[in-house]
Structure 1
Amino acid sequence: MSWMPPKHVLLSPITSDDESQIEQIQLKPLFYAAQKEALARAGEDEDDQFFELAKLATGLSIKELDQLKRPDYVSIAQYVHEMSTQPTSYFLQQAGEADEVSDVELSDDPDQVRLLQPLNVAGRSMISLSLEMPVLRATKAMKKLKTAKERAEFITAHCTGLMLPDLAALTVPDWTQLQVRIDDFLNKPAAFFRSATSK
């Protein structure tokens, strides 16, 4: 069973573009590529960034979003903030799924990363990714790339075995979870990985 985003019951219903009443919103996960595009559209203003991400997370139009009462928007913004900053493990623990599957099957090996949403790659649905430590040749190639985002995407593809376009379909929490372990690979000494506490 995959994680499902929560529903937000509106404090004050709004009118949809087709004139029907919206009383609750099924929130959606943020995906890596869509978030990247939304942030690029929004520019540097934090309020504009949250508004763009709220459109993605709710599926509402600008006209519909503009009708939200401030407390409803704050709740949605809180969800967007968590989705943008927290790793997959945070959402699985909230849903109580970490005990069922992740702790039993995956946490014994920190290089098996459970995904928040299944990832479809080459016709296969994957619920976890196996990470491999990068070879020196890959880190040298990574350092030649211009931006931090390009470097992160390159090394993530290398460590997961995914193609760069596949990264677009990762949820943002999955991306965040992967970056934590990849950061270990790039910056920790061998002794860190030999210790039992390297999770």
Structure 2
Amino acid sequence: MPWTPPVHVLLSPITADDGTQIEQITLKPLFYAAQKEALARAGDDEDDQFFELAQLATGLSVKELDQLKRPDYVSIAHYVHEMSTLPASHFLQSVGEGEPDEVTLLQPLAAAGRSLTSLTLEMPVLRATKAMKKLKTAKERAEFITAHCTGLMLPDLAYLTVPDWTQLQVRIDDFLNQPAAFFRNATSK
């Protein structure tokens, strides 16, 4: 069953920029590239970061968001925090523990002319990890090895939701840091 974005019913309705009343907000998933840009705009201040991400998650303007009562904002901030830190498996609770290298995506990903609902991860070859280590920043290294392990092109990564990105990083971290015995034990029955 696919994931559906949650709806937050406001304790106190707000006035939209067009003068209509907003009584509920369908929260949107955060996407990797958009989140990265929002965090760069916000700088180091955590409150500014949450505000930028709340705009992405709600689709509200600054004027609309500023009208929210604090409890509504706290609920949205909680959603933003979960969306920013938890893997897709948290949101896809109906998906059981299956094959760890087959990652079900929170939202379909349009890549190579297809709509992908899952990605199959491949362990990186040593040549790829050597190339990865030559890149300057941790973000560049993570993007390079994620593209290598998923078979996606670097630009495709921008359209992953943040929980999908997080889910992939957990398994890729295993690939990069665990010995062979870890994988044998995980697959033996």
What band does the TM-score fall into relative to the shorter chain? over 0.9
Q: What is the TM-score of this pair, normalised by structure 1?
A: 0.92
Quote how far apart the aligned CAs of 1:108 are: 3.4
Matching residue of 1:9: 9
Matched, 1:191 2:181: yes
Instruction: Give runs of aligned pairs for residues 1-199 of structure 1, distance below 5 A.
Output: 1-93=1-93, 97-98=94-95, 103=96, 107-196=97-186
Secondary structure of 1:196 counterpart: helix
Quote how far apart the aligned CAs of 1:197 are: 6.2
Distance 1:108 1:67, change over 3 A: closer
Secondary structure of 2:128 counterpart: helix
Quote how far apart the aligned CAs of 1:5 are: 1.1
The answer on whether the counterparts of 1:32 and 1:169 sit within 8 Å (CA) in structure 2 is: yes
User: What are structure 1's unaligned runs of at least 5 residues?
Assistant: none
Please give the alpha-carbon distance, in whole angstroms, between the structure 1 residues aligned to 2:41 and 2:113. Answer: 31
The answer on whether the counterparts of 2:2 and 2:92 sit within 8 Å (CA) in structure 1 is: no
RMSD of aligned C-alpha atoms?
A: 1.1
What residue identity is the alignment partner of 1:170? Answer: L
**1:107-155 Cα distance to aligned partner (Å, 9 max, x none):** 4321111100011112211110010000111001101111100000000
Please give the alpha-carbon distance, in whole angstroms, between the structure 2 residues aligned to 1:53 and 1:109. Answer: 32
Please give the alpha-carbon distance, in whole angstroms, between the structure 1 residues aligned to 2:139 and 2:186. Answer: 31
User: What are structure 2's unaligned runs of at least 5 residues?
Assistant: none
The answer on whether the counterparts of 1:9 and 1:23 sit within 8 Å (CA) in structure 2 is: yes
Please give the alpha-carbon distance, in whole angstroms, between the structure 2 residues aligned to 1:196 and 1:181. Answer: 12
Which stretches of structure 1, 4 residues or longer, exceed 4 Å deviation after superposition?
Answer: none
What residue identity is the alignment partner of 2:133? Answer: K
